[in-house]
Amino acid sequence: MLARRVIGGLALLISPAGPLAAAAANDPPGATSCSGCHAASAAVETPVPRLVGRPAPEIVAAMRDFRTGLRPGSIMDRIAKGFSVDETAAIAAWYSEQKQ
């Protein structure tokens, strides 16, 4: 049992993803996948709006509108349907707390 803990700990130290994976463990499920399209940095020019620092109610409303079809989307309508209301609220709260 001790050997497994030591090996697991060493893998975390050796793996370049170790610290990143540990930080991502605090993010709500699904939040980090948003950054594939929604850049976190203001230095990145993109037509897709940034979510970092946006008010949570704004993100929740947009996701609701995508989910219900009130707001058309090329892919967000399908993505929004994959999250529950509680998951959406957790992601929105997390993004609203992030610093730009």
Under DSSP, the state recorded for 28 is P
* Dihedral in degrees, nearest 10, Cα atoms 93, 66, 75, 40: -20
pLDDT of residue 30: 84
| pLDDT in 10s for each residue of the chain, 100 residues | 544 444 444 444 343 343 334 445 578 888 888 988 998 888 888 899 999 999 999 999 999 999 999 999 889 999 999 999 999 999 999 999 998 7
* pTM strictly above 0.75: no
- Assigned token pair, 8: 């697991």
Q: How many domains does the chain contain in total? A: 1
What one-character-per-residue DSSP string does 33-95 give? Answer: GGGGTS-S-TTS--SSPP-TT--HHHHHHHHHHHHHTSS--SSHHHHHTTS-HHHHHHHHHHH
- Assigned token pair, 44: 């990145």
Q: Report which residue type is found at 33.
A: S
49 belongs to a structural domain: yes
> Domain range for residue 41?
29-97
36 belongs to a structural domain: yes
CATH assignment of the domain containing 92: 1.10.760.10
